Amino acid sequence: MIWYVIKLIVLLPLIGALAWGSLKLAQKAQAKLGVSQGQAKRFRIVETTMLSPGLKLAVIEFGGREILVSASRQGLTRLGDAPLRELGQ
């Protein structure tokens, strides 16, 4: 029984330190792969609407066009697109 407690005291902080270290390493990797502040994004999510718990509609601005997509558990489906409209219209 005492052997189990000793192993628990030694290994539990070690596992916690490994988990914390892997999270910090993942954050650094994401920061290196992310878009820098000097670059403009190629797309922008204009609007989203939840239709049901598993279905969402989104309007995405990409390449001078607005694209309507549905997002579900099965993936994304392109529903239609239109030229980019101005804010005043």
DSSP SS3 for 38: coil
Say what the pLDDT of residue 87 is. 63
Select the more confidently predicted residue: 87 or 47. 47
pLDDT tens across 15-43, in order? 999 999 999 999 888 888 764 555 567 88
Token pair recorded at residue 7 = 């192993």
Mean of pLDDT values over 60-80: 92
At 51, the pLDDT band (50, 70, 90 cuts) reads very high
Place of tokens 């792969």: 33
User: Is 70 exceeded by the pLDDT of residue 8?
Assistant: yes
Q: What separation, in Å, do the N-terminal and C-terminal C-alpha atoms of the chain show?
A: 75
CA angle 43, 48, 49 (to 5 degrees): 160
Measured CA distances, 46 to 8, 26, 39, 57 (Å): 51, 29, 19, 11
Average pLDDT score over the chain: 87
